[in-house]
Structure formats: C-alpha cells, structure tokens
Amino acid sequence: MAVLLQHASPRPAVRGRWLLALPLGVAGTALAAASVRAAGEVHLAQPDRLVTTGPYAVVRHPMYVAWGLIHLGLGLATGSRWTLLTAPLAAVVVHGETIAEERRLLASFPEQMGNYRITTPAYVPRRRRPPWR
C-alpha cells in the first residue's frame, strides 16, 4: 500500500535516513534469520510444539517484530514517508493476526501457552535487571 501511495504522491526523503535505515534493516533481517533458525523444523502455520527458544524466549512474536523493523528500514532507505505513515496501520493489522495466532496456540497447547504468555512479552523485550541488584 505504501508503495502505491508513494508512487501516486511522492513525498520528499527523510533527512539522515540512512543513519536509521541501515541499522533497522540489519536488525530486522538478523532477527528474522534467528527466528527461523529457532523454529527449526516446526511448521509455524500448524505447529506440533510451541517454540520458546532463541528470539522466542525474549518476545512471543519475533518474526512480526523483524518484519516491522524491515518495513521501517526499507521505508527510510527508499525515502518513502508513506511507509512511515502506514506503519501504524500495519501494526494494528499484525496485532490482530497475533491475537488470532495466540488463540490457536492456546487451544493446542493450553498450559504451556498460558505460562508463555505470562512470562514472555509479545513484542518489546522486558528490561532485565543486572544480577547484582
């Protein structure tokens, strides 16, 4: 959608965009790769087990976070303000998908998913206290 809007009504590039675009894109790509690696042989559309290792130990939806980072990074890299303007709408749509996904996982793995939801945040990692505190 953002690509069509940018084509129909180009917006000027965001100044200094590469300072943010590159780290966002690299972080998103690395997170996506680590998420795929952690999932291993699990077919994520119809899992036979709950994946709770690797990035899934830090947040419940690392792939969605990765896509969001890549989305923003590409938007900045191409200078598309439309990408940045449509990001909140994309986040709302993705959040709806995660709710449906978690309902399915809760039905398939009630106890494990229930505990996972309590102990692991959905998108943003919790700040961990240093062990000396």
The pLDDT-based confidence of 6 (bands split at 50, 70, 90) is low
| Overall size of the chain counted in residues | 133
Task: Copy the structure tokens of residue 28.
Answer: 């998103």
User: Residue 90: phi, psi to the nearest 5?
Assistant: -60, -40
**pLDDT-above-90 percentage for the chain:** 61
pTM comes to: 0.81
What integer pLDDT is reported at residue 28 of this predicted model? 97
Distance between CA 120 and CA 126 in Å, rounded?
Answer: 8
- Domains of the chain by residue range: 17-119
pLDDT at 7 over 70: no
**Maximum CA extent, the chain:** 55
Model confidence pLDDT, tens digit, residues 82-105 = 887 888 999 999 999 999 999 999
